[in-house]
């Protein structure tokens, strides 16, 4: 029995330490499906998102969903600490580590208390190991606790720096593409202002943003759950808007940078597909994707762009090309939208849409 408990304690410690290494230190995506952190997030997100779906008020729902990312991070760190304390307690208990307490009074609770005090290096001294093996285990556990604390201290700033860099471009998109962002609005505003040539620079910035999103969100998937400051913005919505814009330009928009659009489209699609693979979200059926832009909406989209001097190429070939490009990314963004409860942007901004910069707690600019 002591051998089984010892092996169980060692296995628990090794699994947690390896999971910590993969989650925090390893700078690449882990392709193994059965993983401690992934299982924990799936178990926690399922009831959390189910309750969110039942909340009717949009602002209240977004506020509730916005808590999950930071809270889940704290939950994960607490889970690692508790699992390591339990693992070391099992080792002490299995080997009946000698303690400076009366003989026969050392229960599993006593060993668990010793493990917790050692892990957090409190050093009360009321319960302490007196044998060689117990002291060795205490030294290793104290080192593990300090190491985990050091890694976490370095982990949190990296996460929030990546989050801040991600959100900066999302905020900059507000004045260019509306709130929520829209590909048609992005092209309309550039064409109406006579700055369509600036679209090349914008798409270049979003190519780099997509590359950074791919790198940071594959390394730290928890960032996918961190939501933007405004309810009508999200990293998924902004990424979809850029993909929509690139698709329109690649179909044919007079004066628009087609080559840069291809580069940005490739990078953005790469990001959305790989992030979908992290959560094992199967692409949605093409039928559900076609509901995002109906044939009537496409006619209206062409009319809006024509009125602002940026006509979209017309004809059956153009429609087929647009459908092909949309089929390359829309099934993935639909799947992520359904899983993360992040609404996708409209192709055409509604009449009631208003930029976030025009609003405040005291009203909005008329």
Whichever domain contains 20, its CATH number is: 1.10.287.70
Is residue 295, in this structure, part of any structural domain at all? Answer: yes
Look at the chain and report how many structural domains it folds into.
2
Query: Which of the 8 DSSP states describes residue 198?
Result: G
Question: Could you tell me if residue 213 is left (phi over 0), alpha (psi between -120 and 50 degrees) or otherwise beta?
Answer: alpha
Q: Are 9 and 72 part of one and the same domain?
A: yes
Is residue 361, in this structure, part of any structural domain at all? Answer: no
Tokens of 92: 């002490």
Is residue 365, in this structure, part of any structural domain at all? Answer: no
Q: Determine the average pLDDT of the residues in 46-63.
A: 92
Q: Are 290 and 142 part of one and the same domain?
A: no
pLDDT band for position 30 (cuts 50, 70, 90): low
Is residue 359, in this structure, part of any structural domain at all? Answer: no
Q: Are 40 and 117 part of one and the same domain?
A: yes
Tokens of 231: 């309810």
Q: Are 182 and 233 part of one and the same domain?
A: yes
Q: Are 199 and 336 part of one and the same domain?
A: yes
Asked whether the predicted pLDDT for residue 102 surpasses 80, the reply is no
The per-residue pLDDT for 126 is 86
Q: Are 278 and 190 part of one and the same domain?
A: yes
Q: Are 205 and 306 part of one and the same domain?
A: yes
Strands 363-364 and 359-360 turn out to be antiparallel
Asked whether the predicted pLDDT for residue 29 surpasses 80, the reply is no
Global pTM?
0.88
The per-residue pLDDT for 31 is 64
Q: Determine the average pLDDT of the residues in 109-120.
A: 92
Q: Are 230 and 307 part of one and the same domain?
A: yes
Question: Could you tell me if residue 349 is left (phi over 0), alpha (psi between -120 and 50 degrees) or otherwise beta?
Answer: beta
pLDDT in tens, 122-150: 888 888 898 888 899 999 999 999 999 99
DSSP string, 130-182: -SHHHHHHHHHHHHHHHHHHHHHHHHHHHHHHHHHHHHHHHHHTHHHHTTTT-
Is residue 167, in this structure, part of any structural domain at all? Answer: no
Which backbone phi and psi does 315 adopt, to 5 degrees? 115, 170
Which of 245, 249, 262 has its CA nearest to residue 182? 245
Q: What angle do CA 36, 38, 40 make, to 5 degrees?
A: 70
Q: Are 242 and 340 part of one and the same domain?
A: yes
364 bridge partner residues: 359
Q: Buried (b) or exposed (e) across 187-205, using 16+ Cβ within 10 A?
A: bbbbbeeeebeebbebbee
Q: Are 23 and 105 part of one and the same domain?
A: yes
Which backbone phi and psi does 364 adopt, to 5 degrees? -145, 160
363 bridge partner residues: 360
Residue 21's domain comprises 2-153
Is residue 209, in this structure, part of any structural domain at all? Answer: yes
């Amino acid at each position: 029995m002591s051998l089984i408990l010892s092996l169980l304690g060692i296995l628990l410690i090794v699994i947690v330490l390896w999971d910590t290494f993969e989650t925090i230190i390893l700078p690449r995506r882990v392709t193994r499906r059965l993983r401690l952190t992934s299982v924990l997030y799936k178990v926690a997100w399922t009831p959390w998102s189910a309750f969110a779906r039942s909340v009717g008020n949009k602002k209240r729902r977004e506020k509730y969903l916005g808590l999950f990312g930071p809270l889940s991070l704290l939950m994960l760190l607490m889970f690692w600490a508790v699992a390591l304390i339990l693992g070391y307690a099992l080792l002490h208990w299995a080997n009946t580590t000698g303690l400076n307490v009366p003989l026969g009074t050392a229960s599993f609770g006593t060993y668990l208390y010793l493990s917790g005090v050692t892990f957090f290096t409190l050093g009360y001294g009321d319960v302490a190991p007196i044998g060689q093996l117990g002291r060795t285990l205490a030294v290793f556990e104290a080192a593990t606790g300090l190491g985990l604390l050091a890694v976490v201290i370095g982990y949190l700033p990296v996460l929030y720096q990546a989050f801040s860099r991600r959100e900066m471009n999302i905020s900059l998109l507000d004045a260019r593409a509306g709130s929520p962002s829209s590909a048609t609005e992005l092209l309309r505003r550039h064409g109406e202002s006579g700055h369509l040539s600036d679209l090349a620079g914008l798409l270049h910035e979003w190519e780099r943003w997509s590359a950074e999103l791919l790198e940071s969100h594959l390394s730290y998937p928890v960032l996918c759950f961190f939501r933007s400051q405004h309810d009508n913005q999200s990293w998924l919505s902004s990424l979809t808007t850029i993909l929509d814009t690139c698709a329109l330009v690649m179909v044919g928009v007079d004066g628009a940078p087609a080559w840069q659009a291809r580069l940005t489209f490739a990078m953005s699609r790469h990001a959305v597909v790989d992030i979908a693979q992290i959560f094992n979200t199967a692409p949605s059926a093409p039928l559900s994707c076609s509901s995002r832009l109906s044939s009537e909406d496409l006619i209206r989209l062409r009319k809006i762009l024509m009125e602002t001097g940026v006509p979209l190429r017309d004809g059956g070939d153009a429609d087929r090309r647009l459908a092909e490009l949309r089929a390359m990314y829309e099934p993935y963004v639909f799947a992520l939208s359904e899983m993360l409860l992040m609404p996708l942007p409209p192709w055409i901004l509604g009449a009631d849409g208003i930029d976030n910069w025009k609003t405040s707690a005291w009203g909005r600019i008329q």
